A and B are shown apart, each in its own frame.
Chain A
Amino acid sequence: MVLNIVVVGVGGQGVLTLSKILGACAVEAGVKALVAETHGMSQRGGSVIVHVRVGNDVCAPTVPLREAHVMIALEMLEGARYLNYVNPEFSLSIVNDKVLRPPIPGAKVPEKETMLKAIKSHSALTVVVNASEEAIKLGNPAGANMFMLGFLAGLLEFMGLSMQGCCTNRTPHPSADLGKANAAIFKRGLMEASALLERIGEGEVTELPWLRRGFFKT
Chain B
Amino acid sequence: MLGNEAIARGALEGGMGLAAAYPGTPSSEIVESLLKVKNKLGIYVEWSVNEKVAFEVSYAAAISGVKSLVAMKHVGLNVAADPLMSSAYTGVRESFVIVTADDPSMWSSQNEQDNRLYGVHAYIPVFEPSDPGEAKELCKFAFEFSSKVRHPVILRTTTRLSHTRGPVPLGTIPRLTTRGEFTRKKEYVLTPSNARKDREAMLTRWERIMDEVNAVPFNRIEGDGKNLVIASGIAYAYVKEIIASGKVGDGWRILKLSTPYPVPRKLLLEATEGVEKVLIVEELEPVVEKEVKAILYEEGITVELHGKDLIGLPYEMSHERVYSALKSFTEGRKPRVLATSNAKESLPVPPRPPTFCPGCPYRPLFYAIRRYLNRKKLSYVAAGDIGCYALAHNPPYNLQDVIIEMGGSIGTANGFAHVLDSVILAIIGDSTFFHTGIPPLVNAVWHRTPIVVVILDNEITAMTGHQPSPTTRGASATENYIPLESVVKGLGVNFVEAIDPFNVTQVENTLSRAIEYASKQREPAVIIARRKCALSALRSLRRAGIKLPLFKVDLSKCIKCGTCYNAFACPAIYPDKEGRAHIDPGLCVGCGTCMQVCPVNAIVPVDHSDTYKLQKGLIEKFWR
Contact = CB atoms under 8 A, between A and B. Distances in A.
Contacts of A122: 346
Contacts of A141: 585-586
Nearest to B585: A141
B395 A104 contact: yes
A37 B244 contact: no
A83 interface: yes
B395 A105 contact: yes
A59 B238 contact: yes
A216 B396 CA distance: 49
A194 interface: no
Contacts of A12: 357
Interface in A56-96: 57-62, 64-65, 67, 77-78, 80-85
A57 B245 CA distance: 10
B343 A40 contact: no
A196 interface: no
Interface stretch (B159-167, B418-426, B596-604): B159-167
Most chain B beta-carbon contacts within 10 A, residue among A83, A84, A103, A114: A103
Contacts of B388: 44
B480 interface: no
Contact of A80 (B347, B391, B542): B347
A100 B25 CA distance: 26
Contacts of A203: none
Contacts of A101: 574-575
A109 B350 contact: yes
Given A36-B163, A65-B343, A108 B350 contact: yes
B344 interface: yes
A132 interface: yes
A84 B343 contact: yes
Contacts of A58: 241
B320 A65 contact: yes
Nearest to A45: B355
Interface string B15-38: 000000000011000000000000
B238 A60 contact: yes
A5 interface: no
B569 A60 contact: no
A103 B571 contact: yes
B575 to A, nearest CB: 8
B86 interface: no
B353 A59 contact: no
A41 to B, nearest CB: 5
B347 A46 contact: no
Contact of B166 (A10, A11, A32, A174): A32
B345 interface: yes
Interface of B: 2, 25-26, 107-108, 130-132, 160-161, 163-167, 234, 236-238, 240-241, 244, 317-320, 343-357, 388, 391, 394-396, 463-465, 542, 545, 562, 565-567, 569-571, 573-575, 585-586
5 contacts: A36-B160, A37-B2, A44-B356, A61-B237, A104-B569
Given A59-B130, A104-B351, 12 more contacts: A23-B165, A36-B163, A43-B354, A60-B240, A64-B318, A82-B345, A83-B345, A101-B575, A103-B570, A104-B353, A104-B396, A105-B566
Interface of A: 10-12, 20, 23-24, 27, 32-47, 57-62, 64-65, 67, 77-78, 80-85, 100-110, 114-115, 118, 122, 132, 136, 141-142, 174-175
